[in-house]
Structure 1
Amino acid sequence: MPLTFYDFTPAPSPRRARILLAEKGIDVDTVQVDMTKGEQLSDDYKKINPSCTIPALVLEDGTVLTDNAGIAAWAEAYKPEPALLGTTPTEKGIVMSWNARIDFEGFMPVAEILRNTSKGMQDRAITGPTNFAQLPELAERGRARLPLFWDALEQRLVGREFIATDNYSIADISALVCIDFSAWVKMAPGDDHPNIKRWHAAVSARPSAKA
């Protein structure tokens, strides 16, 4: 069976997987799941991914991968070049450490702000099949945390072309999508982050960024 990718183009999470697959040159059949219509909560989609999250990648043997970490690990083994998770043991450690940091210090604050303030996400403050009420305090915590991460990333990029190692990696993919996602809550890096802006312009120009 063909590789089938369940996507919702506007959302940041599946975009991370699309960029990675594009960098790898891995072709997939794409099925759009419209989150604005709640299609991720439908019975049909629950049969594919009971967690009701997007993306999901159905492999040739029918295995379903339901998060970016699993998709990235599979893609790196399925098509090792170009290496996006590092090439040496040290590089792999650095890449994954930075990727985890971007998730925790970047994506989480943005998601906390968006999901706990958006009128369209009332009682949907956490993804998945179970409804959770918004907590305004989490949005405030996100607003406090995010600028600290931008400052740390700015320092990391001084004199560097890429975030984790000397080569483009999954950390650059994650940070690119995180920064674009942060514009949704009007907290993207500004003029006081020139290294981030230089790096962002460069990685945004890669063909995969348009995937």
Structure 2
Amino acid sequence: MKLYEWDFAPNCRRVRMFLIEKGIEIPKEECITPDIALKDPFLSKYKHAMVPMLELDNGVQLGEALAIWIYLEALHPNPPLLGTTPLEKAVISGWERRAYDEGIIGHAEIFRNSHPQFVDRGLPGHLGPVPQIPALIERGKQRVARFHKKFNEQLASNKFVAGDKFSVADITAVCVVDFGHALEMQIPDDCPHTKRWFDEMLQRESVKKSVPTHMPDGSPIPIAA
């Protein structure tokens, strides 16, 4: 197997954290050029033109972090990160999806519609030009605000995002918060429960070892305040 990725991308970090938590070693290949374009032969052989992508030894290509998680969890069930009982699986899936939809996508709207290296690249996976829409920056900020409000309330009575066990819901939420740090958007002051949770997450090996090294322009990632 080989994992194709981009070090900065939160969706790629979601897979890196999962691998570290599982203790799985998979060769990785950075497939983004310095000007943030997909390299060949990756671009030529993967029609969806997005990372992460896990290529199996038989040539099967698995895209999307969730699909990669599901496949690897079936092969390596311990420790369980997607839940074990029907209820656990449902709760974890629900909170992971909230983190993705409001957190990852919210920050992505801000990032893709404001970053100078993403002019005409407003949507991932599209090879033709897609213009930036400045109005989506404000919409992205509103989504991020909803993320922080919901997750602060959830973490007020839960050690982890989906209850009393670490799960993929925490993985995605960590990537959300650190994506915000990269955009110089900190955890709001009125979210003490999120801050407590994130401070605890910073002690996990998977969080420390999966941190991106640089911003897309090559500058250092801003440090979490």
- TM-score tier after normalising by the smaller chain length: over 0.9
Secondary structure of 1:37's counterpart equals coil
- What is the 5 A alignment of 1:49-88? 49-88=46-85
Q: Which residue of 1 aligns with 2:193?
A: 195
Residue 39 and residue 123 in structure 1: after superposition, are their counterparts in 2 closer, same or farther (change >3 A)? closer
- What is the 5 A alignment of 1:53-202? 53-128=50-125, 129-202=127-200
1:7 aligns with 2:5: yes
Q: Is the 8 A contact 2:53 2:61 kept in 1?
A: yes
In the alignment, the residues of structure 1 paired with residue 13 and residue 149 of structure 2 have an alpha-carbon distance, to the nearest angstrom, of: 24
Structure 1: unaligned runs, 5 residues or longer: none
Q: Is the 8 A contact 1:8 1:35 kept in 2?
A: no
Does 70-79 or 7-16 show the bigger shift? 7-16
Structure 2: unaligned runs, 5 residues or longer: 211-225
Q: Is the 8 A contact 1:115 1:125 kept in 2?
A: yes
* Cα shift readout 1:15-70 (whole Å, capped 9, x = no counterpart): 11000011111110111112433441x44112342111111111233211111011
Q: Is the 8 A contact 2:36 2:117 kept in 1?
A: no
In the alignment, the residues of structure 1 paired with residue 128 and residue 153 of structure 2 have an alpha-carbon distance, to the nearest angstrom, of: 39
Q: Is the 8 A contact 1:7 1:54 kept in 2?
A: yes
Residue 186 and residue 127 in structure 1: after superposition, are their counterparts in 2 closer, same or farther (change >3 A)? same
Q: Report the number of matched residues.
A: 208
More helix by share: 1
Q: Which residue of 2 aligns with 1:204?
A: 202
In the alignment, the residues of structure 1 paired with residue 83 and residue 33 of structure 2 have an alpha-carbon distance, to the nearest angstrom, of: 33
Q: Which residue of 2 aligns with 1:17?
A: 15
Does 8-17 or 81-90 show the bigger shift? 8-17
Does 116-125 or 181-190 show the bigger shift? 181-190
In the alignment, the residues of structure 1 paired with residue 186 and residue 33 of structure 2 have an alpha-carbon distance, to the nearest angstrom, of: 24
Q: Is the 8 A contact 1:49 1:66 kept in 2?
A: no
Q: Is the 8 A contact 1:48 1:64 kept in 2?
A: no
Q: Is the 8 A contact 2:83 2:89 kept in 1?
A: yes
TM-score by length of 2: 0.88
TM-score by length of 1: 0.93
Question: Counterpart of 1:95 in structure 2: which amino acid?
Answer: I
Q: Is the 8 A contact 2:4 2:54 kept in 1?
A: yes
